[in-house]
Amino acid sequence: MKLLHFSDTHLGFSEYYKIDPDSGLNQREQDFYDAWHQVIDAIMVHRPDVVVHAGDLFHTPRPSNRAIRTALESIQKISDAGIPLVIIAGNHETPRIRTTGSIFESLALFPHVHAAYSSACEVWQINDVDFYCIPHCSLTEEMDGAFEMLKVKARARANKVFVSHGAWGGDFGMGEFNEQRLPDVEVLTGVHFDYIALGHYHRYVTVKENACYPGSTERTSLNEHNSTCGYLLVDLESGEREYVGIATRPMIKLPTIDCTGLTTRTIYDKMQELATPAVRQAIVQLVLKNIENDAFLQLDVRQIDEMFAEAFYLEKKFSRIMTESNRFASHAKIESLPIEFERFLARENTELDIQKIAQLGAHYLESD
C-alpha cells in the first residue's frame, strides 16, 4: 500500500495585512491555500492508496468560510477519486469547549473520509491495513485513555499504521500551551506499527525508523525559516519513503548586525549589503543590536523599508545600548510612537528637562 502523508496545513492562517491582488485575500492566507493546492494536485497525480492528514488542517477551531470551502472542495475531489482519506484533529482546531462542536463532523460526511476528532482512539480498516488514530485530546486523561483503548483494540495480524498529533517523546514541540506529549506508542502498548504518521512539529523529521513528521505545508512563524515544506510518499510494503518539497514563500533571518561603536552611516551601509535580490518577495527578519543611542534616534525607518522594498515583509528587531536615559523606552519598537516622540525631543532646543518629558511621553503613549 502506498500512502501520502501530510500535515499542519493551517488553512485560514493570515498575517501582515497584505492583500493578494488576484484573490483580494490576505496574501499570507492565500499562500497557505496555494501550498494546500500543491499537495492536493500531487494527490491527484500520485493517486496513492490512502491519504493521511495528521492534524492542524485548519488554523483555528472556527475557521473562516473561505478556509472551510477550500478544504471541502479539495476533500470532495479526493473523495470523488475514490481515494480514502484518514484525517485527525490537531491542537489548533480542537475547540476548548466541547459544545462548540467540531468542523470535522462535516468532513466525515464525505464517502471514503475517516475523521478522528473526539478525544479517543479510532480504528479504520482500509484494504488490508488498520489505521489507529488518536487525535489531539482536550485533556491528558483522555489521551491516556485513548492509548489504553488502542491496546484493547489492537489486532494481532493486520498491518498497522498509527496516526497522531503532538510532541513525540516531549521533544518536537511547538511551544504551544495546549500541545500534548506523545509517548512512543510502540514502547507504551507493545504494538508494532508498519508506519507512524505524525503531525504537529513544523519540520520534516524522522523520529524513529518507522515514524515521521512531514512538517507543515507553509511556515507559520519566522522560527521555521530553516524548515522545508512538503509531504511524504510512503510505501508500506518496502518501507521506502520519499519526501517531496513544495514551493512556498521564502523566509529569511538575516545575520545580526552588531552596531557597537558604529555610526548611522556605517549601519546603513551594513544593511545595504544585506539587501540582496534574495530578499525579493521573502519574509525577512533584520536584527540590529547594541545601537548607540544617537545612531538609534537618527535611523529613518522609511529609508530602511525602502532599502528592503523588494521584500514581502520586513520584521525589524532593533535594540540599543541601554543607558540611564533610554531605559524607560528600551522595549519600544523602532517604528513606534514613543521612539518617534524621543526623536522629536532630541531635535528640540529647550530648557525643559528632556529626560523627564521623554519618560512622561513614553508612559502616556504606551498605556492604553
CB of 130 to Mn ion, least distance (A): 26
Q: Which residue is nearest to Mn ion (CB)?
A: 56
Q: Quick one: which of 5, 6, 8, 116 contacts Mn ion (CB under 5 A)?
A: 8
Is residue 201 within 8 Å of 216, Cβ to Cβ? no
Options 56-64, 156-164, 187-195, 307-315: segment touching Mn ion (CB under 5 A): 56-64
Which candidate, 280, 285, 278, 259, places its Cα nearest to that of 270? 259
For Mn ion, which is the closer residue by CB, 76 or 178? 178
Options 4-12, 104-112, 258-266, 316-324: segment touching Mn ion (CB under 5 A): 4-12
For Mn ion, which is the closer residue by CB, 86 or 198? 198
For Mn ion, which is the closer residue by CB, 8 or 31? 8
For Mn ion, which is the closer residue by CB, 93 or 342? 93
CB of 7 to Mn ion, least distance (A): 7
164 Cβ partners below 8 Å, 6+ apart? 54, 55, 88, 133, 134, 135, 182, 185, 196, 197, 198, 199
For Mn ion, which is the closer residue by CB, 8 or 122? 8
For Mn ion, which is the closer residue by CB, 75 or 167? 167
CB of 144 to Mn ion, least distance (A): 22
Calculate helix-pair angle for 27-46, 65-80, nearest 10 degrees.
10
Which candidate, 5, 130, 98, 54, places its Cα nearest to that of 119? 98
Number of residues that bind Mn ion (CB under 5 A): 2
CB of 221 to Mn ion, least distance (A): 10
CB of 299 to Mn ion, least distance (A): 36
CB of 167 to Mn ion, least distance (A): 11
CB of 91 to Mn ion, least distance (A): 7
For Mn ion, which is the closer residue by CB, 29 or 56? 56
For Mn ion, which is the closer residue by CB, 88 or 279? 88
For Mn ion, which is the closer residue by CB, 215 or 361? 215
Residue 179 binds to Mn ion (criterion: CB under 5 A): no
Options 6-14, 233-241, 245-253, 328-336: segment touching Mn ion (CB under 5 A): 6-14
CB of 297 to Mn ion, least distance (A): 40
Which candidate, 258, 317, 249, 318, places its Cα nearest to that of 279? 249
CB of 200 to Mn ion, least distance (A): 6
For Mn ion, which is the closer residue by CB, 13 or 268? 13
CB of 304 to Mn ion, least distance (A): 32
Is residue 185 within 8 Å of 193, Cβ to Cβ? yes
228 Cβ partners below 8 Å, 6+ apart? 203, 204, 215, 243, 245
What is the bridge-based pairing of β-strands 211-214 and 195-199? parallel
Residue 29 binds to Mn ion (criterion: CB under 5 A): no
Options 8-16, 42-50, 65-73, 281-289: segment touching Mn ion (CB under 5 A): 8-16
Is residue 116 within 8 Å of 89, Cβ to Cβ? yes
Residue 56 binds to Mn ion (criterion: CB under 5 A): yes
What 146-154 contacts at long range (C-beta under 8 Å, 24+ apart), as own/partner pairs, is: 146/119, 146/120, 146/121, 147/121, 147/183, 147/185, 147/188, 147/189, 149/120, 149/121, 150/121, 150/185, 150/189, 150/191, 151/189, 151/190, 151/191, 153/121, 153/123, 154/189, 154/191
| Interaction site with Mn ion (CB under 5 A) | 8, 56
